[in-house]
Amino acid sequence: MRANTPFLALALAFAAASPSLAAPCSNTGVGYDDWKPRMAGEARAAGVGERGIAALMGTSYSKATISADRGQKSYKYSLEKFMQVRGAETIVAQGRKRKAQNPGFYRSLEQSYGVPAGVLIAIHGMETGFGRDTGNTNVISAISTLAFDCRRSEYFTGHLLAALVLVDRGVITTASTGAKHGEIGHTQFLPGSVLAYGVDGNGDGHIDLNTQADALASTANFLRGKGWVPGAGYQKGEPNFAVLKEWNAASVYQQSLAIMGSRIDR
């Protein structure tokens, strides 16, 4: 799969430009089963194949996803509290060890994408504790639930269409699991980001973000694609700090990544 595929842009444009055709959203689970065939019609119009359509029709409304979506609190913390809650000291300590154990791998990523090891390692640690907790929620059900939910329906409709294409292509399956919002793998990519920036980092001919090499290469590719400038700084006020905003919209998250990345790379 090539980076920067035009499909996600097409899917998002379709969802945004066709409000009269859009399947209705809901703030509860009522009507979900009636919504699925209408959403399937949109998906077919956007180019989704029958494997993807079958995956959509096999989904169920995820109460766990909605509960998680309504209950995000840590981003309201101060920077100091946020870093404490997210285990920044542990991430830095373990991150330094990981870099020392496999310097050639991280060096190759920086040579290819221009992103230093500290940033990638900080993201890896923050997102899943270095792959220890990638989530156990069904990806397709989580994403379809959020596309059905009115709060961010348009945004997640694009990711749902992307997820269904990933099923068509065999990158994920109906059994694939991830975090509560449908994020996938070691660094928690939403399906649209897998489609646009996923790369085969270990050379086995398959993109699998549940493998570290693919996940970190894809993360570096994402940051480079969002404008990362090789060799430029990434602390607050420096050129690449703006790219960290593309990874996560919360200012405490961005600042934490910058601080931890710098400490890992010392």
Give the start-to-end residue ranges of the domains of the chain.
7-69+138-181, 77-134+196-264
**Confidence at residue 43, expressed as pLDDT on a 0 to 100 scale:** 95
**Confidence at residue 23, expressed as pLDDT on a 0 to 100 scale:** 74
Give the type of residue at 36: K
**Spacing of C-alpha 55 from chain mean position:** 20
CATH 3.40.50.1000 for the 77-134+196-264 domain, yes or no: no
How far is 178 from 176, CA to CA, in rounded Å? Answer: 7
CA distances from 74 to 84, 86, 127 (A): 11, 9, 13
List the alpha helices (DSSP H) in the chain.
7-17, 32-45, 50-57, 63-70, 79-85, 88-101, 103-113, 117-128, 139-148, 153-169, 191-197, 212-225, 241-247, 251-264
**Confidence at residue 73, expressed as pLDDT on a 0 to 100 scale:** 66
* CATH number attached to the domain at 7-69+138-181: 1.10.8
**Confidence at residue 165, expressed as pLDDT on a 0 to 100 scale:** 97
* E strand or H helix at 178: strand 177-178
**What are the mean pLDDT values of the chain's consecutive 10-residue runs (266 residues total)?**
44 47 81 96 94 98 93 79 95 98 97 98 98 97 97 93 97 97 97 96 96 98 98 96 95 97 96
This prediction has a pTM of: 0.90
